[in-house]
């Protein structure tokens, strides 16, 4: 986000495993502040059933700290609804940093919910804390290899690996694998003059297919 | 001054001077050189990152700090001085001296680069401890009033745990009446030291641990621990004299070694012990030092060290309620130094220990022979509990050790060893360091009888003491390609008698493979694989007989460091640990962390921040991680269960004389509501440590 030059807006929708209750959606907006970094706002919704739903409203700020190093923070407000307790609010943070090690290699680190809060005071359910460390390596002009690990206070340790192939300036193809649960995924990105479209398909061994699409639009300055 | 010095040297040095001037400028402008502690922390971390026990490392740090602030002159430094730089091995020291002899001195410290034995990392470690001056070290005249040479240091330190621990509960509560901490939850530490290089040192150290009383009740004298020393070199017929508290390290440590010694470390070929034989003691480890007088002198090829120590030590008393005050029986040593409860107070200074020792060294060209004799006497007799594995624990009130050690250099071989006898059983150690071109190898064999006892020994070992162990160690260190360094060791060991949680003689092995890749001087990738295998009682076994099973441990670490050009430096780590023991369920764990440090150059402020997440199945798959800390407080913490750890170290250089450090660290668990055990238990899911240190040098 710190490297964004123009304001942009994006929407994302996803369906998990073909169940209409498991629709996720997001709407996000990024505004660069010239030399003072960039601010962003996003609204995310998860699970739209009558029994349970959750929304997240995030406010983000990103700053380029040196030529090849940037970091960002985000504050999230969750609204969770369960048929048992009604709706309640909780707050958590997110931290990220991005470092370009050299021309070909980048490091990314992301921490979700660093202070480990609870969703509410009724249940013992904690908002999971998760730390991701990823490396991206540009093998050749057209091929990018990425690897990531995710260590969480709640879930099992996860490895992810992915490959992106740039067909031409406008079209990129992606494929990836993830452990625990084992998921393979495929994606396609189209970059236009002001618009970027990403389409993804994830295949879970047991629960079958999830699909998603996102559209980002970049405004003129 | 440097240029003047070198004018009457050979002209070939002129180029080197130019190089020095050029690099010297860069060096002093670089970021992150706020204080010597930062540099020393890097070195100690390198030595310790493999360590999985807590030890007071401040002793090493102290020695290095005083050298850093008053560096050695490369053109006059002697073998013994270089030995104090613990990261240098014997061959490296010799190579520096050989180079100096061959080229008639150094014109700049950058000439170190042309010594094959020193790799890039070692040179980086070494540089700040060295300077090139024009007055030979020996001829330097010191005057206490001359501020240039004398250094006065005052350190004030305190630390506490922010959450209330069980031991500090309300004392009127009937539940607590039995056991509680007598004092408050803060520790206080005060130290004063005056020194002139390593030639003269006068110091006083005072400490109260958290939970100990202060100026009342059981501690009417205030602090729980007082230590003072006076140390001087080259006076009259003596090469050194120590009065008060001091430490003594002799030979390879089989008979006597009261200082800190590394065993297996990622410096895989550092297996030869070459510490300074006699040094002043400034640390706060309350059991591992000597109190009395020690002298060292040299007559031609013979060097002699003699010492006498007399101090009260802690010990657990057998049946304290019914003991006769004249001669209580002691069941075991009590070495933690904590005197926080009534029980712990009973152990305090319950026994008088007297030790006398002498050490002779004969120097013949490449050969050095040493002879050690130690005798010790306790006022109260030891009568250990008789469990089978403790059969050979120390008992009685006397001990004697006699040892012979040698070292011999031949071409690129270096042989060393020690053979020790305690009047009853033997301990042997012999090793070789070999340098074959770019490859360095080390081989070490040890055989310590189960019955061998040496109470102040510290040598190469796998088990806790120098006894009950046989083993062969082999290590290899080389650079397969430039920018890449490979270190490897394998160690096989056998314990011929029982040990803690080992109800039969056992075998085991361990190996370590450590790879460093430094594509440029700002980035370092490190992959480390360590595997351990040893027999152990099966945990959770309910039959009356314990069954031994092979326990395997494997840990794999990836570490990436970026010292960015500029104020930032970053470090990321991913570590896996796996453990299995016979039919018991295998366990695994993961740790990830990210460090960011930032130096505000104009404000002379440095902040270091870490965020870590750990997730392990249980205690068996725990993961150790070294942490940045305030000076004189090194921490290696182990993490198990699920949770996170974060800390901030704040270092501010107030002015040219004083610096301030603050560390705030918190561990927060996602899987428990009670932390710790016994009197340290905390009712909550987080534990916060707060430490503060002020150092003034004038």
Note whether B517 and B524 are within 8 A (CB): yes
Q: Which whole-number Å values give the CA distances from B304 to A85, B24, B307, in the listed order?
A: 81, 41, 10
Burial of B598 (0-12, 13-18, 19+ CB in 10 A): middle
3-state secondary structure of B517: strand
Pick the most confident of B104-108, B272-276, B306-310, B670-674: B306-310
> Between chains, do A114 and B596 touch, taking CB under 8 Å as contact?
no
pLDDT band at B15 (very low <50, low <70, confident <90, very high): very low
Assign residue A74 the CATH number of its domain.
2.40.160.60
What is the Cα–Cα distance from A62 to A2, expressed in whole angstroms? 5
Evaluate whether residue A13 is within a structural domain. yes
What is the Cα–Cα distance from B151 to B58, expressed in whole angstroms? 18
**What pLDDT does A110 receive?**
92
**What pLDDT does B208 receive?**
93
pLDDT band at B109 (very low <50, low <70, confident <90, very high): confident
Closest by alpha carbon to B255, among B455, B446, B423? B455
Evaluate whether residue A24 is within a structural domain. yes
| Chain B partners within 8 Å of A151 (Cβ) | 574, 590-592, 613-615
Evaluate whether residue A2 is within a structural domain. no
Strand partners of residue B473? B444, B491
Query: Is the predicted pLDDT of residue B397 greater than 50, yes or no?
Result: yes
Query: Is the predicted pLDDT of residue B156 greater than 90, yes or no?
Result: yes
> Between chains, do B591 and A130 touch, taking CB under 8 Å as contact?
no
What is the Cα–Cα distance from B152 to B196, expressed in whole angstroms? 9
CA nearest B591 in A: which residue?
Answer: A151
Lowest mean pLDDT among A46-60, B27-41, B623-637: B27-41
| Chain B partners within 8 Å of A109 (Cβ) | 572, 594
What single string gives the DSSP state of each residue in chain A?
-TT--S-EEEEEEEESTT-GGGEEEEEEEEEE-GGG-EEEEEEEEEEE-SSEEEEEEEEEEEEEEETTEEEEEEEEEEEEEETTTEEEEEEEEEEEEEEE-SSSEEEEEEEESTT--BS-SSS-PBPPPEEEEEEEEE-SSSEEEEEEEEEESSSPPEEEEEEEEE-SSSEEEEEEEETTTTEEEEEEEEE-SSEEEEEEEEEETTTEEEEEEEEEEEPP-
* Interface list for chain B against chain A, based on CB atoms closer than 8 Å: 519, 523, 560, 562, 564, 566, 568, 570, 572, 574, 590-594, 596, 611-615, 642-644, 646, 668, 670-671
Closest by alpha carbon to B124, among B649, B619, B561, B678? B561
pLDDT band at B546 (very low <50, low <70, confident <90, very high): confident
User: CA of A151 to nearest chain B CA: how many angstroms apart?
Assistant: 6
Euclidean distance between the first and the last CA atom of chain A, given in angstroms as a whole number: 16
CA nearest B592 in A: which residue?
Answer: A151
* Domain ranges across chain B: 2-139, 224-437+452-460
Number of independent structural domains in chain A: 1
pLDDT tens digit string along B653-662? 888 889 999 9
Evaluate whether residue A131 is within a structural domain. yes
Evaluate whether residue A122 is within a structural domain. yes
Q: What number is the average pLDDT over the span B80-109?
A: 84
User: Within 10 Å of residue A180's Cβ, how many Cβ atoms?
Assistant: 11
pLDDT tens digit string along A112-162? 988 877 776 666 677 889 999 999 999 998 999 999 999 998 888 999 999
What is the Cα–Cα distance from B465 to B453, expressed in whole angstroms? 9
**What pLDDT does B323 receive?**
52
Residue A117 is part of which domain span? 8-218
Lowest mean pLDDT among A112-126, B518-532, B595-609: A112-126
């Amino acid at each position: 986000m710190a490297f964004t030059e123009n304001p942009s807006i994006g929407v994302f929708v996803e369906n998990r495993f073909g169940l209409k209750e498991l629709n996720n959606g997001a709407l996000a907006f990024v505004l660069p502040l010239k030399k003072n970094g960039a601010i962003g706002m996003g609204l995310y919704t998860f699970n739209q059933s009558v029994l349970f739903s959750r929304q997240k409203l995030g406010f983000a700020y990103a700053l380029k700290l040196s030529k090849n190093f940037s970091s960002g923070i985000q504050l999230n407000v969750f609204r969770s609804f369960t048929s048992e307790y009604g709706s309640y609010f909780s707050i958590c943070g997110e931290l990220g940093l991005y470092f370009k090690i050299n021309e070909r290699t980048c490091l990314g680190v992301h921490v979700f919910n660093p202070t480990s809060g609870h969703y509410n005071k009724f249940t013992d359910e904690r908002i999971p804390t998760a730390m991701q460390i990823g490396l991206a390596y540009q093998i050749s002009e057209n091929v990018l290899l990425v690897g990531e690990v995710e260590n969480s206070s709640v879930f099992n340790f996860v490895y992810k690996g992915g490959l992106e192939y740039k067909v031409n300036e406008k079209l990129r193809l992606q494929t990836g694998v993830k452990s625990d649960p084992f998921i393979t995924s495929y994606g396609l990105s189209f970059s236009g003059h002001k618009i970027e479209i990403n389409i993804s398909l994830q295949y879970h061994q047991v629960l079958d297919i999830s699909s998603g699409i996102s559209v980002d639009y970049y405004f003129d300055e | 001054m440097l240029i003047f010095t070198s004018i009457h040297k050979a002209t070939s040095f002129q180029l080197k001077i130019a190089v020095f001037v050029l690099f010297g400028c860069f060096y002093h402008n670089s970021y992150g050189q706020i204080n010597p502690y930062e540099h020393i922390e890097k070195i100690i971390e390198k030595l310790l990152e493999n360590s999985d026990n807590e030890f007071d490392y401040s002793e090493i740090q102290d020695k290095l700090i005083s050298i850093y602030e008053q560096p050695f002159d490369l053109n006059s430094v002697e073998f013994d001085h270089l030995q104090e730089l613990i990261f240098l091995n014997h061959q490296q020291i010799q190579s520096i001296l050989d180079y100096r002899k061959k080229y008639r001195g150094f014109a700049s410290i950058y000439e170190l680069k042309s010594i094959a034995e020193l790799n890039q990392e070692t040179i980086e470690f070494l540089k700040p401890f060295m300077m090139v001056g024009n007055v030979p070290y020996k001829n330097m005249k010191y005057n206490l009033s001359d501020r240039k040479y004398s250094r006065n240091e005052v350190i004030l330190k305190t630390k506490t745990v922010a959450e209330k621990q069980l031991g500090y509960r309300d004392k009127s509560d009937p539940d607590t009446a039995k056991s509680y901490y007598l004092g408050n939850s803060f520790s206080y530490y005060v130290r004063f030291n005056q020194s002139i290089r390593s030639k003269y040192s006068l110091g006083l150290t005072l400490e109260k641990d958290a939970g100990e009383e202060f100026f009342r009740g059981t501690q009417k004298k205030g602090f729980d621990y007082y230590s003072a020393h006076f140390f001087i070199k080259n006076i009259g017929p003596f090469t050194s004299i120590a009065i008060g508290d001091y430490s003594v390290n002799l030979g390879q440590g089989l008979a006597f070694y009261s200082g800190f010694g590394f065993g297996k470390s990622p410096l895989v070929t550092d297996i030869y012990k070459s510490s300074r034989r006699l040094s002043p003691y400034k640390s706060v480890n309350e059991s591992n030092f000597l109190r009395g007088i020690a002298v060292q002198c040299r007559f031609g090829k013979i060097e002699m060290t003699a010492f006498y120590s007399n101090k009260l030590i802690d010990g657990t008393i057998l049946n304290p309620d019914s003991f006769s005050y004249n001669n209580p029986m002691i069941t075991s040593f009590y070495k933690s130094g904590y005197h926080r409860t009534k029980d712990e107070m009973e152990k305090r200074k319950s026994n008088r220990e007297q030790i006398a020792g002498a050490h002779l060294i004969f120097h013949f060209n490449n050969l050095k022979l040493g002879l050690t004799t130690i005798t010790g006497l306790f006022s109260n007799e030891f009568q250990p509990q008789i469990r089978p594995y403790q059969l050979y624990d120390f008992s009685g009130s006397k001990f004697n050790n006699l040892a012979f050690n040698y070292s011999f250099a031949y071409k690129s071989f270096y042989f060393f060893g020690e053979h020790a006898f305690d009047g009853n059983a033997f301990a042997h150690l012999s090793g070789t360091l070999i340098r074959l071109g770019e490859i360095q190898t080390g081989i070490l064999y040890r055989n310590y009888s189960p019955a061998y006892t040496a109470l102040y020994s510290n040598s190469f070992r796998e088990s806790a003491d120098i006894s009950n162990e046989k083993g062969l160690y082999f290590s290899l260190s080389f650079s397969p390609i430039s920018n890449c360094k490979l270190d490897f060791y394998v160690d096989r060991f056998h314990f011929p008698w029982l040990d803690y949680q080992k109800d039969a003689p056992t075998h085991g092995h361990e190996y370590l493979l450590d790879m460093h890749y430094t594509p440029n001087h700002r980035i370092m990738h490190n992959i480390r694989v360590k595997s351990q295998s040893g027999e152990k009682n099966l945990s959770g076994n309910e039959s009356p007989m314990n069954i031994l099973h092979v326990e395997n441990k494997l840990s794999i670490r990836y570490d990436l460091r970026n010292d960015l050009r500029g104020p930032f430096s970053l470090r990321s780590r991913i570590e896996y640990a796996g453990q299995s023991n016979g039919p018991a369920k295998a366990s695994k764990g993961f740790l990830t962390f990210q460090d960011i440090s930032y130096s505000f150059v104009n404000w002379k402020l440095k902040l270091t921040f870490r965020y870590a997440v750990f997730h392990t199945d249980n205690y068996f798959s725990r993961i150790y991680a070294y942490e940045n800390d305030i000076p004189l407080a090194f921490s290696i913490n182990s993490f198990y269960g699920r949770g996170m750890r974060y800390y901030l170290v704040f270092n501010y250089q107030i002015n040219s004389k004083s610096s301030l450090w603050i560390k705030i660290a918190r561990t927060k668990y996602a899987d428990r509501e009670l932390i710790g055990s016994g009197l340290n238990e905390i009712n909550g899911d987080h534990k916060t440590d707060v430490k503060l240190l002020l150092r003034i040098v004038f």
